[in-house]
Amino acid sequence: MAHLKIGIVGSAGRMGQSLVREIVQTDGVRLVAASEHATHPALGQDAGSFSGLGALGIKITDDSGQVFEIADSVLEFSGPQATVSHAGLAAAAGVCHVIGTTGLNPKEEAALGAAAEKTAIFWAPNMSIAVNVLIALAEQAAGALNDDFDIEILEMHHRHKVDAPSGTALALGRAVAKGRGVDLEEVSQRARDGITGERRRGDIGFAVLRGGDVVGNHSVILAGGNDRLELTHQATSRQIFAAGAVRAAIWLQRKPPGLYGMRDMLGFAG
């Protein structure tokens, strides 16, 4: 059976290296191309050696266009602007694109949707299978408990993360808002400082922590007058995100053009 040919954009970053290792360890897939931005010190090095493996014969280049030319599916965890640009390359080449980038604004999300009219694109703010189960559970819990229960979403990541709240925290926020039948933008409370007054009934609060090398911790807290429900996920290795992305690449093959996500792959309703 032919192997699925996978390319990686951003192959020398922390997630890129995890993707290289996951591809090598997964049956039925093969790394065929790897790229990085034009000033990255990893350019010219072997993607396998750079990721702590043996040489794979795949040199890291600054030609992301070539990655889309020779791969069946391209994996990417990068910045929003670069991701939108690469989605355009995927659409032009008819190549599947698996995206784990966070921090996209509504215009950039719409651009992914436009690219997905021409090819299959899979986008998830968090590629962990367990986190996406958490998102589904959070929606159900919010729907079952009325707004006598205050909802707070707490997330912590490493000191190098540049966007806040995390994409996963926002996905959790959208899930609990959907469970309650409200618009997240109307009830979202992103910051508290000084004399804020009492908590507004029905708000969905976000708290953000940054520090150390924390891979990613997320909690949804539903606090009532006499009891409290907490749903929590803690990531201890980036490898869980790489595993989810490779699984998505395999699942996405032969899918018609469209914008897909974890709900589609895991078979969740809604």
161 is catalytic: yes
Residues 6+ apart with CB under 8 A from 253: 4, 72, 73, 96
Tell me whether the omega of the peptide bond preceding residue 165 falls within 30 degrees of 0, making it cis. yes
Is 136 exposed, middle or buried (CB count within 10 Å of its CB: 0-12, 13-18, 19+)? middle
Residue among 37, 118, 161, 255 flagged as catalytic: 161
Active site residue 157: yes
Of these residues, 86, 97, 157, 218, which one is catalytic? 157
Q: Would you list the DSSP string of 87-102?
A: HHHHHHHT-EEEE---
CA dist., res. 150 & res. 165, Å (int): 19
Spatial neighbors of 176 by CB under 8 A, at least 6 apart, are: 138, 139, 141, 142, 151, 153, 204, 220
Sequence letter at residue 171: A
Residues 103 and 35 sit within 8 Å (Cβ to Cβ): no
Q: Which residues are catalytic?
A: 157, 161
